[in-house]
Amino acid sequence: MKTGIVIKTTGSWHTVKTAEKEVFDCKIKGRFRINGIVTTNPVAVGDYVDFKIVDEDQTGLISKIHDRRNYIIRKSTKLSKQVHVIAANIDRAYLIATLAKPETSTMFIDRYLISAEAYRIPVTILFNKTDIYGEFENEYLKAIMHLYQSIGYNCIDVSAVTGYNVGKVKGQMANKTVVISGHSGVGKSTLINAMHPGLNLKIDSVSSLHKKGKHTTTFTEMFELDNGAFVIDTPGIKGFGIIDMYKEEIFHFFPEIFKVSKDCKYYNCTHVHEPECAVMKAVEEHRISQSRYQNYLSIMEEDENEKYRKPF
C-alpha cells in the first residue's frame, strides 16, 4: 500500500504523487461519501489517499481518502443537488480579481469569501492586470482594496505581465499549499507562469466580443514551485452559489456584520428588517460598507431551495 497526495484530477483518473516523488495514475475503488456530502468529485486535488498498484502499467486503485483538514466547495454547475470540491487541505486561498477585461464584481468576491470563511480558509485577494488600468480603475482599485483591507482581508495589487508584486505574492506562498481561483481570463495561469516560468502553462486572450475570459485550465492541478509552495490552479469559475450553510448563518461569514450583530436588540435578528438592528444602524453610519450589505441582502433574498440546500 502506498500513500500520496492528489495533484491532478481528470474525471475518473487521479494523478497521485508520493513522498518519494513517484507519480501514479489512479482510479477509485468503489464509492466514497465524505462527511455525508454528495459531491461530483469524491477525490479532490490536495487530498491524501492510500492506494495500491494493480497492474504492470503501474496504475493504482485508491482505497482510502484521509480526513481533510479543510476544503472549499462550490455548487455543481450541472447537478443542482450536488457540490464540487475545488481543493482540499489548503493553507490559504488566493482569489484573483480584475477591474477590467474582465471585471470581477464585488458580489462574486463576497460569495467566494463567504465560502472560504465557512471552512476557515484565509483568503488573499489579488487585484491583477494593474498594467492596463486607467485613472478610473486606479481610483476604484484604491477604494476596493481599502474596503476589504478594513474588514481584515489581505489585498495585493499585481501585474502578472510586468511582474509587479509577483515576487511578494510568491514569497507569501512559500512552503504553503494554496489554491488560486477566479473568473476565466483574470490571469491565474499567467501569474503561476510568472512565479515559475518553467511550467509554461497554457494561457489565452480575453474575448473581445464579450470581455470574458476563455477557459484554458480544464482540470484542477497542483504545481510545486521552487520555494516549497504547492499551488493548486483551478478552472475559471463563472459563478459561486452559496451552499452547505443555513440561511440564518450567512451573516456569520461577513466578519464586519458578525462583529456588530452582538449589539442587535434581538438575538435572532436577520439584519434585514428588525427594529433596533445594530447592523442596519452601522450601514447608515457608514461603518459597514453599503455594497457589502447590499450583497448580503441579495444573498438572503435568493431562492432558499436553490442556494441554501444542505448537500446531504
Beta 2-10 vs 48-53: how paired, if at all? antiparallel
The total number of structural domains in the chain stands at: 3
**What whole-number distance in Å separates Cα of residue 119 and Cα of residue 201?**
29
Do 184 and 124 belong to one domain? yes
pLDDT at 198: 75
Mean pLDDT by 10 residues, the chain (312 residues): 92 90 88 59 91 86 92 64 81 96 93 89 97 96 98 97 96 95 90 86 46 52 92 73 75 96 95 96 97 94 54 34
pLDDT per position as a tens digit, 92-151: 999 999 999 999 999 999 999 998 898 889 999 999 999 999 999 999 999 999 999 999
**What whole-number distance in Å separates Cα of residue 234 and Cα of residue 222?**
9
CATH of the domain at 14: 2.40.50.140
19 within some domain: yes
**What whole-number distance in Å separates Cα of residue 110 and Cα of residue 123?**
11
CATH of the domain at 301: 1.10.40.50
| 3-class DSSP assignment, residue 253 | helix
**What whole-number distance in Å separates Cα of residue 278 and Cα of residue 122?**
26
pLDDT at 126: 98
Domain-terminating residue out of 32, 52, 68: 68
Sequence-distant (≥ 6) Cβ neighbours of residue 18 within 8 angstroms: 2, 3, 4, 24
Runs of H (alpha helix) within the chain = 106-118, 135-151, 166-173, 188-195, 255-261, 278-284, 290-301, 304-307
240 within some domain: no
**What whole-number distance in Å separates Cα of residue 112 and Cα of residue 5?**
25
100 within some domain: yes
pLDDT at 73: 80
pLDDT at 310: 43
Do 113 and 168 belong to one domain? yes
Do 194 and 172 belong to one domain? yes
Do 29 and 133 belong to one domain? no
pLDDT at 295: 95
**What whole-number distance in Å separates Cα of residue 283 and Cα of residue 41?**
40
CATH of the domain at 146: 3.40.50.300
Identify the residue whose cell numbers are 441554501: 308
pLDDT at 83: 72
- CB count in 10 Å sphere of residue 31: 6
Sequence-distant (≥ 6) Cβ neighbours of residue 55 within 8 angstroms: none
Domain range for 76 = 72-233
36 within some domain: yes
pLDDT at 39: 66
Sequence-distant (≥ 6) Cβ neighbours of residue 102 within 8 angstroms: 183, 184, 185, 186, 206, 211, 212, 213
Do 49 and 90 belong to one domain? no
**What whole-number distance in Å separates Cα of residue 287 and Cα of residue 306?**
31
What amino acid occupies position 6?
Answer: V
